[in-house]
Amino acid sequence: MQQPSDKRVIWIILDHPWQLFLALAIVKSAPVHLQFRLVASKHKYWPRINLNQYLNKFEKVFFFDEPRRARSPLDAFRFLRQSRLLKIALKALPIGPNDILLTLCYYTYLENLLTAVFPRNRRVFVMRDDAYQIYDLFSANLKNGIYREAKSSLLHRLLLEPLLSLKKKTRFVWIKTPENFHDLAFEKRPEIYYDKVFRLRSQTAPDLSPAEIYYPYPLLSPASKNPAKLHRVVFFLSDYIKNPDYYQKISQILEFLAAHFGKEYLLELRAHPNRLE
């Protein structure tokens, strides 16, 4: 579907509610001649948000099921079936040849398939600086044995992703620590896959390069009610902890910090970004 010549359409791709803040900040600060449409993969946290107050900021909104990664050869058939059905659905999106695909999510097959279906559209990736640095970590630590690539990662990278004609191959690795952490990233640096990559850094980070921008979350923007220009410290309170003493201990810690540092720092308490309400 062709768009009017005076209108540029940007398709924002995300998968998790925390990315919605960033999308809203982009829409709010954009020139009026731009139109924004949203493509998102369904996530278990979306039902916890009153989306009506946010989604009306976008001209159109589309939600899709994200294919589940395969962990065995039997899983591979299920994954391919889900991915091919998703690919058909994505092809039906009214994306014009001059539209821009703006990625805010990380390593989802919804995004990977969408950029593969529309390879001629300009692709922009906005990502956290810590996620960007993972490519250097993968490159070094896979060689020295600290990271170990999972067998399921080999299944996806060497078989399933080529079968789906995906240029962006992924690595899923385990990290040799007592906690047995894991992580996921593209096989190569993002500049290879995208026309433009922006790295989000903290507002306190000095000497930003032209390819780096400040994290534009509204709750991390300079405080308007901060006449003394104090350094701002934001505490995110998690709702995942089920220990009944957790909130009492956190309250004691925050009261101690406020009593000793309240005049030197602007201390704020926020709900975890997963809880936008």
What ranges do the domains of the chain cover? 8-129+191-217, 222-271
The string of pLDDT tens digits covering residues 44-61 is 878 877 788 888 889 999
Residue 232 has pLDDT above 90, yes or no: no
Angle 109-41-201 from CA coordinates, rounded to 5°: 80
Q: Is 109 left (phi over 0), alpha (psi -120 to 50) or beta?
A: alpha
| % of the chain at pLDDT higher than 90 | 36
The dihedrals phi and psi of 190, each to the nearest 5 degrees, come to: -65, -25
The dihedrals phi and psi of 214, each to the nearest 5 degrees, come to: -70, 150
The string of pLDDT tens digits covering residues 3-23 is 444 678 999 999 988 888 889
pLDDT number for residue 90: 97
Report field, pTM of the whole predicted structure over 0.85: no
Please, what is the average pLDDT of the chain?
80
Strands (E) in 65-129, as ranges, are 100-103, 122-128
pLDDT number for residue 21: 83
Residue bearing the bigger pLDDT, 104 or 232: 104
The structural architecture, per CATH, of the domain 8-129+191-217 is 3-Layer(aba) Sandwich (3.40)
β-pairing, 100-103 vs 122-128, is: parallel
Pairwise CA distance, residues 143 & 182, whole Å: 16
Residue 223 has pLDDT above 70, yes or no: no
Beta bridge mates, 212: 199
Decide: residue 50, CB within 10 A, 0-12 exposed, 13-18 middle, 19+ buried.
exposed
